[in-house]
Amino acid sequence: MTDAAAGQCAAQRPRWRELDGIVLLDKPAGLGSTPALQRVRRLLRAAKAGHAGTLDPMATGMLPLCFGQATKACGQLLGSSKAYRARLVLGAATDTGDAEGRVVRTSAVPPVDHSRLSAVLASLTGDILQTPPMYSALKRDGRPLYELARRGEEVERLPRRVRIARLEAGYWTDAAIEFEVECSKGTYVRVLGEQIAAALGTEGHLDALRRLWVEPFAPEALVTLDAVEAWAARGPADDERPEWLLPVDAAFPGLPRLDLDRVASLYLRQGRTLPLELPAPATLGRAYDPAGRFLGLVEAAPGGGLRVARLFVAGASGPEAETY
């Protein structure tokens, strides 16, 4: 490589920077979760990044992207409740459970009336069992199931218990049903669509899916990829933070706040137990230094006082979330 070519390659590489925060990306259809993360990471020039909850390429909607210290919150966000809006096409099943797959079965569609549909949705509300689909990121012997599925292989998957907190139909015809669902982690909306169709006496697959929100974030905070690209195109300064980059503690809005003095802040970062208590019945709290900077989460220590549950400041040790 010539010196000129090497210089050009170096100029094209982003100048990575330490950036902490959360972006609630309104993921567009056709883009995978990891490519979406990498694109936003490059635009923000963030040194460290991870996402909390995969969305299929066909799906749109809220994809929490965590940067810097916020990557430590990925695990908690993965366990959060979520809400979706989906469109279920009746009469045909695909190998993927959505419109990206090939049709593998067809069936006549019985008339769908209000009372029948309401009864079906009620029967699938609460704690239910789901068998994970072959086209999923779950792993068997270190390999994602979708890789096996693409080779025509199928392996046994044990049913898992998930919770459907709300399941309501928006509109329906004899050909399709639009529904909204609030559900626990681990819920496959594609499988839920198949379960609805089966209970109606037919086959089905999703041809549209949108994630409306991920607890604890409101949908109003969503930012489009176009908006991120427009911000980056302005050539912002290294210390500039876009208004849609949420602070790290936005992941924990429901926890009580503890404002520490200088000494207590130092002790907390050193891993010492503080002679403080959380208001009942809280088991975790958010700790801040005298400047109002979020330090991390604290919990009750054995024998009394508070100790670090997780630090969210530079220099903190402990296992990290998967990052890219």
Strands 223-224 and 103-106: unpaired
DSSP secondary structure, 89-148, as one string:
EESEEESSSBTTS-EEEE-------HHHHHHHHHHTSEEEEEPPPSSSS-EETTEEHHHH
Alpha-helical regions (H) of the chain: 3-12, 33-44, 74-78, 114-123, 145-150, 189-199, 225-233, 262-269
What is the rounded CA–CA span in Å between residue 192 and residue 182?
12
Closest CA to 22 of 169, 168, 223: 223
8 A C-beta contact, residue 213 and residue 180: no
Closest CA to 52 of 28, 31, 29, 23: 23
What is the rounded CA–CA span in Å between residue 85 and residue 181?
7
What is the rounded CA–CA span in Å between residue 48 and residue 124?
40
What is the rounded CA–CA span in Å between residue 273 and residue 84?
42
H or E element that contains 165: strand 160-172
Cβ-based neighbours of 280, under 8 Å, separated by 6 or more? none
The residue from 3, 20, 26, 56 that is catalytic is 56
239: annotated active-site residue: no
Give catalytic residues, as residue numbers: 56
